[in-house]
């Protein structure tokens, strides 16, 4: 499916694009809110400034996609492959990123407030200045991730996974809700 066909179908009310092949599609700055892109191939796609709020992108392939400035608020992003994706200044507020693969993704100044990042793989990701206020990071891997200036206020994290990183970055334990006993 090409980008023009997708936009035509969306314009007439179609929202089901399950398993669509949109590899390297240019969907910059369009409104696709509420669409179902479960298991779709959006690898290398240009989705910058695109409204994907409330979308179902579970198990989609967004490898190397440009999502800079995109709105993914409230989206289902569980088990999505974001390896190498550009999510600079994207809005992922209250999105479900359970078991998402964010290795080497760029999430600079990204809004991840109240997002569910449980069991997410974020090794090598750049989360500089990201807002993780109230995020659930239980079971996630943030080792080797860049966390400079990230806001963890009210985030839930398993202590053994991040204690050393938090202390090295000078993040106060008062800002973090530790899951489990310590």
Q: Domain ranges in the chain? A: 1-182
Give the pLDDT of residue 132. 95
* Nearest alpha-carbon partner for 107 in 79, 149, 139: 149
Q: With contact defined as beta carbons under 8 Å apart, do 100 and 123 qualify?
A: no
Residue 128, token pair as written in the block = 């500089």
Give me the average pLDDT of each 10-residue run along the chain (182 residues): 97 98 98 98 98 98 98 98 98 98 98 97 94 94 88 80 47 48 36
The CATH T-level fold of domain 1-182 is: Pectate Lyase C-like (2.160.20)
Give the pLDDT of residue 164. 47
């Amino acid at each position: 499916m090409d980008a023009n066909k997708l936009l035509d179908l969306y314009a007439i009310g179609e929202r089901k694009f399950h398993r669509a092949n949109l590899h390297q599609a240019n969907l910059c700055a369009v409104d696709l809110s509420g669409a179902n892109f479960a298991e779709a191939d959006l690898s290398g796609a240009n989705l910058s400034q695109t409204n994907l709020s409330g979308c179902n992108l579970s198990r989609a392939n967004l490898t190397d996609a440009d999502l800079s400035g995109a709105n993914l608020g409230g989206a289902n992003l569980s088990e999505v492959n974001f390896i190498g994706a550009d999510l600079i200044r994207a809005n992922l507020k209250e999105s479900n990123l359970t078991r998402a693969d964010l290795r080497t993704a760029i999430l600079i100044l990204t809004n991840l407030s109240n997002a569910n990042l449980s069991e997410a793989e974020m090794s090598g990701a750049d989360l500089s200045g990201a807002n993780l206020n109230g995020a659930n990071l239980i079971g996630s891997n943030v080792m080797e991730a860049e966390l400079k200036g990230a806001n963890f206020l009210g985030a839930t994290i398993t202590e053994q996974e991040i204690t050393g990183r938090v202390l090295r970055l000078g993040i106060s334990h008062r800002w973090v809700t530790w899951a489990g006993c310590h």
